[in-house]
């Protein structure tokens, strides 16, 4: 017992950890959906037929919680078309035919920063959102410092999902940028304490981070155990600061901000060069991929082109699943036409055999899910609650069992010997509670 949250040992499979990202210059269409972040979709400011250059703003942030979108290639806007998001929402997407030149836009100049206000504005303009996968606009998160509540920033370098090494490469190849990013945050937000949390299966990252931050004051590199899910926000906060984020509260409420290392790197690059978020490092791996590697790819490039860049599939006929993100929390693609988004840290493709899921059998009450849950939830209660016929009773049990705390990390499903869809049940339960509360709220009105 280490006294730390997260106790699941899963295979690491960091096959691409030693591979610096290779640049891809796309030839196929670029598709940029207006919603690649949490919050309101951006509003297009270009129209079909317009010529665009790399870094040119093509969509404006719409409202306080939103993020602008920039052309990731130079070329011509073909059309603005509807795009169906995995969650069922339809948003606009801008389709660009690249000219292959990658000409940067003339408007690219480093932002002028004089105070916290202009710094936050610059971050908003950078288009940076949580690059670890959450997609929360960075400016909104950092704005919590406006009332000075934050005393610690945690740089999340744990990268606890199997396969993914894009943050690993960021910490190795972009260590200087991360250093500059921390200095910028210090200077403009006035937060003194920085903790860089890295899992112990990335010794090179730990060494590199310790090296660049050797003389930096207030920066501590913390080695975390390689036990899933170290990178989950509440988990890394507790494991590095022992602070508990209460149910329904934000990290800022306990004086902490968690930012992904790649987000900090991109932020530093933007402040210094003025080039906003137009590309990112994507790990392409999985047993169906011929040449697994890290690729620096313009956002909006199709999964198809990225996979072809990596030698394509081992066997075209034997592809079961293609994922965006890691195997624990990633989402399945229905088509390879899907574009790489700001939040896409990995594309994983698995053979039919690897993708195959066993049929669920009856729960044997073994308690493995309960022991595996990093937050001490009881997934069996949630599943049992869903069987109740009475909706109110169902919602009551789910709420009493704190279903709102479930972060869908996947530990319970992973360990279940009966192969039950526990996370899926939790999602169902959470949606049910959400709908019920929304319904009650409308009734009150």
Partner 1 sequence: MGNLTVSTSPHIRSAVTTQMVMRDVLIALAPATVAAVVLFGLRALLLIAVSVATCVLGEFLFHLICKKQQTIGDLSAAVTGVILALNLNTQVTVWQMIVGALFAIIVVKCFFGGIGCNFANPAATARVFLAISFAQVGAQVPTVYTDLVAGATPLGNLATGSELPSLVDMLIGNRGGSMGETCVIAILLGFVYLVVRRVIKWQVPTVFVATVFVLSWIFTKDIHMALYYVLSGGLLFGAVFMATDYVTTPIRTSGRMIFALGCGILTVLIRFFGSYPEGVSFAILIMNILSPYIDKLTAKVPFGGKRK
| CA-based nearest residue to 383, from 425, 413, 418, 415 | 425
Q: Which part of the chain contacts partner 1 (CB under 8 A), choosing from 108-116, 127-135, 173-181, 362-370?
A: 362-370
According to CB under 8 A, which one of 220, 427, 430, 436 is a site residue for partner 1? Answer: 427
Question: Mutual orientation of helices 175-189 and 261-273 as an angle, nearest 10°?
Answer: 80
Residue 97 CB, nearest approach to partner 1 (Å): 24
**Binding test (CB under 8 A) with partner 1, winner from 334, 431, 437, 438:** 334
Are 49 and 80 within 8 A, CB to CB? no
Task: Give CA torsion, residues 323, 161, 178, 339, to 10 deg.
Answer: 10
What's the CA dihedral at 136, 140, 145, 151 to 10 degrees? 0
Q: Is there binding between residue 19 and partner 1 (CB under 8 A)?
A: no
**Interface with partner 1 includes 419 (CB under 8 A)?**
yes
Tokens of 187: 């200077």
Minimum CB distance to partner 1, residue 234 (Å): 6
Using CB under 8 A, pick the residue from 363, 430, 432, 436 that binds partner 1. 363
Q: What residue has token string 């609650």?
A: 385
For partner 1, the closer of residues 136 and 238 by Cβ is 238
Q: 282, 294 in Cβ contact below 8 A? A: yes
CB under 8 Å to 257, separation ≥6 — which residues? 141, 142, 144, 145, 150, 152, 153, 154, 191, 251
Q: For residues 3 and 49, which CB has a smaller minimum distance to partner 1 in the complex?
A: 3
Nearest-approach distance from CB 433 to partner 1, in angstroms: 14
Stretch that binds partner 1, among 29-37, 219-227, 292-300, 314-322 (CB under 8 A): 314-322
Considering the complex, state which of residue 72 and residue 426 has its C-beta at the smaller distance from partner 1. Answer: 426
Q: How far is CA 370 from the centre of its chain?
A: 26
Report the nearest approach of partner 1 to the CB of residue 340 (Å).
17
CB 436, min distance to partner 1, A: 17
Closer to partner 1 by Cβ: residue 59 or 254: 254
- Chain center to CA of 259: 10
Residue 414 engages partner 1 in binding (rule: CB under 8 A): yes
416 belongs to the binding site for partner 1 (CB under 8 A): yes
Contact residues for partner 1, defined by CB under 8 A: 5, 10-11, 162, 234, 238, 244-247, 249, 313, 316-317, 319-323, 327-336, 350, 352, 355, 357-358, 361-368, 370-371, 373-378, 380, 400, 402, 405, 408, 410, 413-419, 421, 423-424, 427
């Amino acid at each position: 017992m280490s006294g730390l949250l997260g106790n699941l040992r899963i295979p690491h499979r960091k096959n691409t950890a030693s591979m610096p990202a290779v640049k891809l210059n796309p030839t196929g269409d670029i598709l940029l959906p207006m919603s690649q972040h949490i919050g309101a979709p951006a509003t297009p400011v270009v129209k079909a037929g317009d010529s665009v250059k790399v870094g040119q703003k093509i969509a404006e942030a719409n409202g306080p919680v939103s993020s602008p979108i920039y052309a990731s290639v130079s070329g011509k806007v073909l059309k603005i078309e509807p795009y169906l998001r995995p969650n069922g929402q339809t948003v606009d997407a801008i389709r660009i035919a690249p000219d292959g030149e990658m000409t940067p836009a003339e408007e690219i100049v480093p932002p002028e920063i004089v105070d916290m206000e202009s710094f936050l504005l610059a971050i908003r303009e950078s288009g940076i959102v949580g690059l670890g996968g959450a997609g929360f606009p960075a400016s909104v998160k950092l704005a919590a410092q406006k009332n000075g509540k934050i005393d610690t920033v945690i740089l999340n370098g744990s990268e606890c999902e199997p396969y993914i090494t894009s943050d690993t490469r960021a910490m190795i190849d972009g260590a200087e940028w991360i250093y500059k990013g921390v200095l910028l945050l210090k200077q403009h937000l006035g937060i003194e304490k920085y903790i860089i949390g890295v899992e112990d299966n990335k010794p090179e990252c730990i060494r590199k981070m310790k090296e660049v931050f050797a003389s930096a004051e207030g920066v501590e590199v913390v080695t975390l155990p390689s036990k899933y899910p170290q990178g989950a926000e509440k988990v890394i906060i507790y494991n590095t600061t022992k602070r508990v984020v209460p149910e329904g509260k934000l990290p800022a409420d306990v004086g902490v901000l968690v930012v992904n290392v790649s987000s900090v790197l991109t932020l530093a690059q933007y402040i210094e060069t003025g080039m906003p978020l137009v590309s990112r490092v994507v790990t392409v791996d999985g047993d169906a991929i011929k040449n697994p590697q890290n690729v620096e790819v313009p956002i909006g490039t199709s999964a198809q082109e990225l996979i072809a860049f990596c030698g394509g599939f081992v066997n075209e006929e034997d592809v079961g699943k293609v994922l965006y993100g890691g195997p624990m929390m990633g989402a399945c693609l229905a088509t390879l036409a899907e574009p790489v988004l700001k939040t896409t840290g990995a594309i994983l493709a698995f053979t039919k055999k690897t993708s195959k899921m066993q049929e669920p059998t009856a729960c044997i009450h073994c308690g493995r899910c309960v022991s595996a849950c990093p937050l001490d939830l009881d997934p069996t209660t949630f599943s049992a609650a869903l069987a109740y016929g009475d909706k109110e009773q169902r919602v009551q049990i789910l709420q009493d069992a704190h279903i709102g705390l479930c972060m869908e990390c996947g530990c319970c499903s992973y360990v279940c010997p009966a192969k039950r869809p526990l996370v899926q049940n939790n999602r169902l339960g959470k949606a049910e509670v959400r709908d019920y509360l929304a319904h009650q709220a409308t009734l009150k009105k």
